[in-house]
């Protein structure tokens, strides 16, 4: 992923009002068992262990799991990666139990309808990904060696009034009527999720006359939001690793003068807000997947000091996308908004 300040990569965030003082203890550690699987399930062994079942499992995964967990098994939105984390360390029997039982409150349907052999094949496939993984995460490896730019696109132009990046220019707008849209097909389920491809050689943001666009930084891992501090520093939320980085200044060649990690251990971090409002904030708030946390901050600070001092826990909401066959978590985009509260009369 690459960013060019001061733009936000993904917008349409959902506002969340964080009230000063509304704190409870930080989130507790995960339960000892995998998604509350009964302890005895850990004793169940994969009958396909040691057999070449991963290839068949990949086909089952692509047919049934890819829409939510992604083509690279890295997850999407609030759906976690299966290449690392609890899925790779949990016993096969516990994973089999979870796939079979499901948990709709957590966005996971029951896959009991799949033959047992196919469920075990999927587990074999997932475990093979962990065994083959290098020391760095797949996402980190992807950004460490970004794909080379592809050749200039020779695809035919889209039919009017639709367009793509090749024909977009500053100030040019297009009017799309309802009659231009394809007819709905409610009887079928469709999925058209995004995937990362090499940037075509002629794909670059077009700026108005007198302005140029340059690459400020790259190599980030799932950057989701940029917020400018009062002193001009860029705070960037990297949701996948759960980190917030600080970018300061711009050199003569258009690159950051300093880059430092402000805080880590922020699961699914997205929202960023400074408090009090104005030129001299004392705190910075971060909106995670299931909590809002705050760190001490002084103007120009690039580290989280003594760390998080409080958290406001909130349960993740759920919604059903139009293409989904089951409810999924869709709250990996919570921004943080702070407002001044009136003084209490004494």
pLDDT digit of tens for each residue in the chain (346 aa)? 444 444 333 333 333 333 323 333 333 333 457 888 999 999 999 999 888 888 899 888 888 888 778 778 887 656 778 988 889 999 999 999 999 999 877 778 889 989 999 999 999 999 998 866 544 444 444 443 444 556 677 788 888 899 988 888 888 899 999 999 888 877 765 666 666 677 887 788 888 889 989 999 988 888 889 999 999 999 999 987 889 999 999 999 999 999 999 999 888 888 999 999 889 999 999 988 778 899 999 888 777 655 555 545 444 443 333 333 333 333 455 678 776 655 544 4
What is the four-CA torsion angle of 77, 79, 81, 84, rounded to 10 degrees? 130
Distance from C-alpha of 154 to C-alpha of 33, rounded to nearest angstrom:
52
pLDDT, position 324: 34
pLDDT, position 317: 41
pLDDT, position 144: 39
In 161-201, which ranges are E strands? Answer: none
pLDDT, position 321: 34
Cross-sheet strand order for the sheet of 291-296:
271-275, 283-287, 291-296, 310-313
Q: Which domains does the chain have, with CATH numbers?
A: 34-134 (1.10.760.10)
pLDDT, position 322: 34
pLDDT, position 141: 41
């Amino acid at each position: 992923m690459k960013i060019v300040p001061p733009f936000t990569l993904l917008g349409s965030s959902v506002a969340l009002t964080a009230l000063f003082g509304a704190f409870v203890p930080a989130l507790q550690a995960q339960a000892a068992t995998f998604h509350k699987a009964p302890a005895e399930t850990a004793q169940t062994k994969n009958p396909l262990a040691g057999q070449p079942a991963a290839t068949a499992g990949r086909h089952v995964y692509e047919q049934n799991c890819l829409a939510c967990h992604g083509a690279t098994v890295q997850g999407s939105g609030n759906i976690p990666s299966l290449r690392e984390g609890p899925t790779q360390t949990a016993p096969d029997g516990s994973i089999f139990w979870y796939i079979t039982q499901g948990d709709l409150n957590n966005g996971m349907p029951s896959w009991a309808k799949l033959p047992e052999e196919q469920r075990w094949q999927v587990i074999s496939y997932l475990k093979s990904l962990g065994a083959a993984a290098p020391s760095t995460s797949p996402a980190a490896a992807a950004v460490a060696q970004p794909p080379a730019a592809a050749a200039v696109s020779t695809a035919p132009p889209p039919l009017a009034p639709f367009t793509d990046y090749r024909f977009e220019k500053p100030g040019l707008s297009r009017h799309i009527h309802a009659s231009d849209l394809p007819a709905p097909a409610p009887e079928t389920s469709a999925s058209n999720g995004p995937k990362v491809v090499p940037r075509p050689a002629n794909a670059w943001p077009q700026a108005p006359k007198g302005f140029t666009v340059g690459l400020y930084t790259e190599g980030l891992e799932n950057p989701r939001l940029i917020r400018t501090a009062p002193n001009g520093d860029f705070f960037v939320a990297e949701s996948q690793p759960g980190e917030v980085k600080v970018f300061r200044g711009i050199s003569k060649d258009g690159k950051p003068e300093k880059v430092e990690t402000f805080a880590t251990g922020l699961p699914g971090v997205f929202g960023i807000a400074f408090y009090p409002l104005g030129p001299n904030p004392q705190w910075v708030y971060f909106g995670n997947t299931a909590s809002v946390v705050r760190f001490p901050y002084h103007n120009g600070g690039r580290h989280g000091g003594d760390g998080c001092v409080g958290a406001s826990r909130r349960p993740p909401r759920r919604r059903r996308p139009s293409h989904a066959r089951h409810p999924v978590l869709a709250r990996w985009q919570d921004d943080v908004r702070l407002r001044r509260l009136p003084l209490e009369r004494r």
